[in-house]
Amino acid sequence: MIYSYLSYFVIVPFIGLLISLFPSNEQEKLLYRIVVATLVAHIVGALAFTLLWISNGMPVLTEKALDLYNSSSESNIFLDFYFDRMTVVYGMISSAITYMVARFSRYYMHREKGYKRFFNNLLAFYLGINCIIFAGNFETMFIGWEIIGVSSFFLIAFYRDRYLPVKNALKVFSIYRLADVFFLLGIWIAHHLFEKSITFAELQDIAWQNYPIIQQHSHLFALLPYFFLVVAAIKSAQLPFSSWLPRAMEGPTTSSAIFYGSLSVHIGVFLLIRTYPLWQNNTVFCIVLIGLGLLTTLVAGSIARVQSTVKTQIGYASIAQIGLMFIEVGLGLHTLALLHFAGNAFLRTYQLLVSPSVLGYLIHDQFFNFIPPQHPNEKTWWGRLNLSFYTLGIKEWNLDRLLYNFLWQPPKLIGLLFRYINSRIVAIVFILFYVFGFYTSYHHELVPDSWAHLLPEVFALVGVLVALKAFTERNSATIALLMIVINQLFTALSISYNEQFEFHEILLYLSGIVLSGIVAWACIQRLRREGEPTDLNDFQGHSYERPRLTMAFMLAALGLSGFPITPTFVGEDLLLGHIHENQIPLTALTAISLILVGLASMRMYARLFLGPHIKGYHEVAFRSS
């Protein structure tokens, strides 16, 4: 059966990524040949598979590929692949654009210090985009979602010896982390509603609508699409999250073309179409989706018309078009949305790839044909209104400041209240409180019934406070690392009070945390022994002289944040599955912890190893690329 070959489309880019790790940065031809061979093998296989699929009548295909976790209880997490008409459209366009960008990048990135890093991240992105496109359930899609987010971070910070690329990479990662946690919460609700990991093939069957538990928890079912809408809005830079997209274009122009002009930014539309059975009869949700798309189109269009940088113009123009796609999806016009995606993806890729040349032509033309701009009459109401919208467009409607004030400034202010706490105080309080919690979690009879239902929220709140300390810590990377590990311990403890809890699931979750924490601690101690600064007040730039240590710490930071390279990734899903649907405070506190821990881990990595080197004998780069 042809469905048994679906895993081929994920295995090929994964093998290509592993092989591309071995050549050195100077072996440009070999690196390029590995990338092209991977893409050609994938495209040829996709074409042959599609022709065979068409000859068989274009059936919807699904394949259960691998069990990530399977226990005697109902917990079952597995990889599943899915193939339908939308997979063909997104898959073919993604392969074609990635191949063109790879060919272009061979010469565009020639003799760059990060030539190898660029193509490694390009293949990582290709692996992630295929995991999403061919995903047959939410868990498989989430793996691809994480891979795209991390590869995006590294490509934005590609010029890692400069201040602004690293700063903007952290800013974009913070928004992505918010989307990741909302995705996890959506998976959590889906598990409670369907009592299993439901596949997209099963979603197409209307039989699930008659599940008794869905009728009992109709409020959760009505809420589920909104979680995925937030995820889609963040990934596709819809309001109020639009401001991250131009900041993400600090990386090379070729990465901007494939990520933020064509493929990654359109994944939100893909997610909405995949989850269409969950909200197709929800009129209120459709109105919200259409309204969001319309508002984004108007605001992003007004910003694109007045920006002075070509990348910002293209970025906001693409956001406006994706807003129209949201409207089309909300109206049920999925075929039109796919055609719109294809046209917009190829157009934005072309515009971004030729933008340096076009900019050069325009600057040359201004010397000979400069026409002063005509200002509107400020005395008329129309002129004043025009200038007001012009000013708002120039300032990007203050969207960046809005996100900072409402999302990131409050936790920073709260975290600063704990800046005087030293490691000795934390160690004593943590040991006493954690031992008490660990003991009572296995001896519930010692806790009065009036307290028992509050203890999970109490321990989760302690975990959030510790995460806030890690998020705002600037004096010592060791203390920040300690706070991250302590937070994970308290998060696991808070959920361990629920019934039907298996101890080995906690061990699975904490195994990746402990291993990553040990590796990160060893890297920090190595820097301290060699007399290097390890405070987080500024970017230290240790990647200049210690690339291998940088790689080790990067993997540790990804492990601490739950990236799918350790068992912690599976453990996160398991722990969330043990939170009851009526434990809203515990769910919220756990989600906040996951967001803050991910940000603190990557912030620690960026502060220690990225940015301009602290020592003066290295060249100082410009602040922006």
Q: Per-residue pLDDT averaged across 36-50, rounded? A: 93
Q: Which of 575, 581, 577 shows the shortest CA–CA distance to 187?
A: 577
Cα separation of 325 and 202, whole Å? Answer: 25
pLDDT 10s digits, 389-404? 888 888 888 888 888 8
Q: Per-residue pLDDT averaged across 81-85, rounded? A: 91
> Highest-confidence range of 31-35, 167-171, 438-442, by mean pLDDT?
31-35
Question: Does the structure show a pLDDT above 90 at 293?
Answer: yes
Question: Does the structure show a pLDDT above 80 at 239?
Answer: yes
Q: Which of 597, 592, 590, 584 shows the shortest CA–CA distance to 496?
A: 590
Question: Does the structure show a pLDDT above 50 at 136?
Answer: yes
- The strand pair at 61-70 and 76-83 is best described as antiparallel
The band of 625, judged by pLDDT with boundaries at 50, 70 and 90, is very low
For residues 137, 139, 140, 144, the Cα torsion angle rounded to the nearest 10 degrees is 130
- HEC assignment per residue over 351-403: HHHHHHHHHHHHHHHHHHHCCCCCCCCCCCHHHHHHHHHHHHHHCHHHHHHHH
Q: Per-residue pLDDT averaged across 468-472, rounded? A: 87
pLDDT 10s digits, 546-571? 889 999 999 999 999 888 888 888 88
Distances, alpha carbon 344 to alpha carbons 80, 321, 337, 349, in Å: 29, 7, 10, 8
Question: Does the structure show a pLDDT above 60 at 623?
Answer: no
Instruction: Calculate ∠ Cα 403-404-408, nearest 5°.
Output: 110
DSSP assignment of 70-95: E-SSS-EEEEEEEESHHHHHHHHHHH
* Contact (Cβ atoms closer than 8 angstroms) between residue 323 and residue 293: yes
Higher pLDDT, 172 or 455: 172
The band of 473, judged by pLDDT with boundaries at 50, 70 and 90, is confident
DSSP state of 206: G
- HEC assignment per residue over 503-515: HHHHHHHHHHHHH
Count of Cβ atoms closer than 10 Å to residue 257 Cβ = 28
Burial class (CB in 10 A: 0-12, 13-18, 19+), 2: middle
Beta strands in 18-70 (DSSP E): 61-70
Higher pLDDT, 41 or 248: 41
Q: Which of 145, 3, 141 shows the shortest CA–CA distance to 83?
A: 3
Cα separation of 223 and 275, whole Å? Answer: 13
Cα separation of 601 and 473, whole Å? Answer: 11
Higher pLDDT, 599 or 571: 599
Contacts of 438 (CB under 8 A, 6+ apart): 493
Q: Which amino acid is located at 404 in the chain?
A: Y
Q: Which residues of 443-452 are buried (b: 16+ CB within 10 A; e: fewer)?
A: eeeeeeeeee
Q: How many helices (H) and strands (E) does the chain have?
A: 27, 2
**Torsions phi, psi of 281, nearest 5?**
-100, 10
Q: Per-residue pLDDT averaged across 242-258, rounded? A: 86
Percent of the chain with pLDDT over 90: 34
pLDDT 10s digits, 332-388? 899 999 999 999 999 999 888 887 777 666 665 666 666 666 666 667 777 778 788
DSSP state of 421: -
Cα separation of 295 and 32, whole Å? Answer: 42
DSSP state of 61: E
Question: Does this model's pTM top 0.85?
Answer: yes
Instruction: Calculate ∠ Cα 233-234-240, nearest 5°.
Output: 75
Instruction: Calculate ∠ Cα 141-146-151, nearest 5°.
Output: 125
Q: Give just the sign of the alpha carbon dihedral 184, 189, 233, 9.
A: positive
Question: Does the structure show a pLDDT above 90 at 573?
Answer: no
Question: Does the structure show a pLDDT above 80 at 182?
Answer: yes
* Contact (Cβ atoms closer than 8 angstroms) between residue 524 and residue 481: yes
Q: Which amino acid is located at 286 in the chain?
A: C
Higher pLDDT, 321 or 446: 321
Higher pLDDT, 376 or 322: 322
Contacts of 384 (CB under 8 A, 6+ apart): 378
Cα separation of 253 and 349, whole Å? Answer: 10
Cα separation of 519 and 513, whole Å? Answer: 10
Helix/strand/coil for 135: strand
Q: Please, which residues bridge with residue 77 across strands?
A: 69
Structure tokens at 598: 């991910």
